[in-house]
Structure 1
Amino acid sequence: MNSKQIHLPQYLDYASTTPLDPLVFEAMTPYFLEDFGNAASTTHTYGERAAKAVKQSRQLIADAINALPEEIHFTSGATEAINLALKGAFLTYRHQNPHIITAQTEHKAVLDTCAYLEEIGAEVTYLPVDPEGLIDLAQLEASIRKDTLLVSIMVANNETGVLQEIKEIGKICQSKGVWFFTDATQAFGKVPIEVLNTSIDMLCFSAHKIYGPKGIGGLYVKKGIQLTPQIHGGGHEFGLRSGTLNVPGIVGLAKATQLCLEGMEETYGRLKNIRDDFESEMEKAGNIKVNGKNAPRLPHFSNFQLLNEEAEAFILRNRNKIAVAQGSACNSALVQPSHVLKAMGLNDKDAENSIRVSWGLKLESKYSNLNILF
């Protein structure tokens, strides 16, 4: 029986998710087939081997951000980690410190969690951003009160790739005696992050953004911070997150982290050159206007307004050629004007007419033929 070859569009949505690296798959495979034991069942060899793999993976990830292994807690992904950090902190300290500070451009996992916390008594300050997507550090400092519990500002925005001044934010938080939680999901494995020299108290990350498996992520919690668990039933993960550990996923997360760190400098330079060349050519041709262009950005992100065509029409016309995003994956069920771009000052029309292109490791050509589609 003859089968027709399926020609998939060129994938340019790496900010949404990434393909599994074959080396990651190879590292995970034994923990599905031979070393399938429960890491909590250490009375026999199967459990011991699984527990050893988890311990080694925890150490590798801790080393990647200059943390202690017992400060790394595995979760199902960044969304769960965000909920654990924000809800867990508020429920523990709500009576003394009910105030939380975040930004209008945070991921929906942060914004929706903060909205829920407001319903149960939290007071939340949502900081605006400038046209490049950056918060005002002086405004942040002025917003911190005596009853402020924590500041939640992401390292890199998931729609624009704009990088906040994390080190300075950490200094402000430390000087004011409040905790600094950061959503590092997009930046983890892409740019160097060290929790000690940036005064980060909590940080979340996810494997599927770095060529690892879906369904596994984690939360760094600085030693001494007490969080109220959100999942009960066995006291796993140092009592913070119950549930049988996803050993293959944890091994995959660690391997993906290792590979990203080893290739970080080369990958950063290569993808930045591709992005910069593309944006320069398209702007000269009058095809696009880049959102957040003058801010520090992750090297593989480009969020831009289409100047000669509606974004919906562009995506529909090229849906068999390229895969790109309009808005972010977390809002894909209903395409609405991006809350990130609107916070940066774009009107509904310009926000709706913007698309996000994100490059990755599996490029087939310098521009992936994107420039010829305009």
Structure 2
Amino acid sequence: MRSIGLITYHHTTNFGSLLQTYALYKTVTQMGYNCKVIDYRNDAVEKREFIKHIYQCKDLRELKEHIKYARFKKRKAKVFAEFLKTNLAMSDLVYDRDNVQKANQEFDTFLVGSDLVWDFSINQNDLTYMLDFADKDAVKIAYASSVGTMWESEDRETVKNLLKRFQNIGVREHSIQKELDILIGKKVDFVCDPTMLLTAEQWKSMSAPRSIEGDYVLCYMSDPKLEMYKDAIQYGKKHHLPVYLISYGWVPEGMKAIRPNGVEEFISLVSNAHTVFTASYHGMLFSLYFNRNFYYYNRGWKERMKSIAEYLQLTDREHWSDEKDSAVIDYTLVNERLNSFRTSSLRLLKEYLRRKNL
């Protein structure tokens, strides 16, 4: 049986990263394949995801923040690690840039998963996520990979040569699909995020018990100008609803902190919310899966939210305003489109995994 190694940003404290890792792993194993997550560690991602030690604090402000909030972040990291250990099969070795070539001894197929794995600004030009270490004869697949900040001109030739070695590539953004079509001269598919491969019922079955009684507004992440916070607080006042912010640090006046430790708690918070305000791509997606009233605030790499909003005809949900307040999402239409996107993406993933090397 083919041995599939899934490489993505799995060692994380980010709900979206862990949820997409789990969803793709779960889908591939449900298709009958022998799959493991490649336990690869990228230094830049590790520094980005995990909290500093107290001796790394640069000034008094950072020290105060660390003392006040570090325990919440440590608890969350511990729960995430337990989830990985319990729910996913991991590679025999922990890999880094120096030894990742040994993964060829464990796997004959490499699947680059979702997330911003091709964003050099996040992983410091780590070509591992473009499978530069993989043997010539290994099957190379990308499913729902994102680029984020586009590559500099001096990197494009290297990127082009590596991506041309892939048998199949699926991405989450229309703009990247078109750009890669031209760059590598072969068909690139537009596919859904791995979390969409599982149904709302499957996600709901993982949910922790409800933790907040009554209706509430849920906020997750924010835009750089914090407009989302202001809008959510105003919305809460207008509708007489408490406003909760998923935060492991500072919380503005007018909001209450809620600190879920695991994905089960995150799913429960989103699925039971009256309204969700989110600047997170996966916050947006899970609001959709559970048919929540929601507003999204695009930030950073904007193409992910833009592509799915356009596909589902929901661009009017970007930012809340008094004028938009009474507008209702037609989830009959949205669910039809979600189901269609899931079906076509599952078909493509099955085709990718059946593919032999050229």
Query: With structure 1 as the length reference, what TM-score do the two structures score?
Result: 0.30
Tell me which of the two structures has the higher relative contact order, counting C-alpha pairs closer than 8 angstroms and 6 or more residues apart: 1
Task: Write 1 or 2 for the structure with the bigger share of helix.
Answer: 2
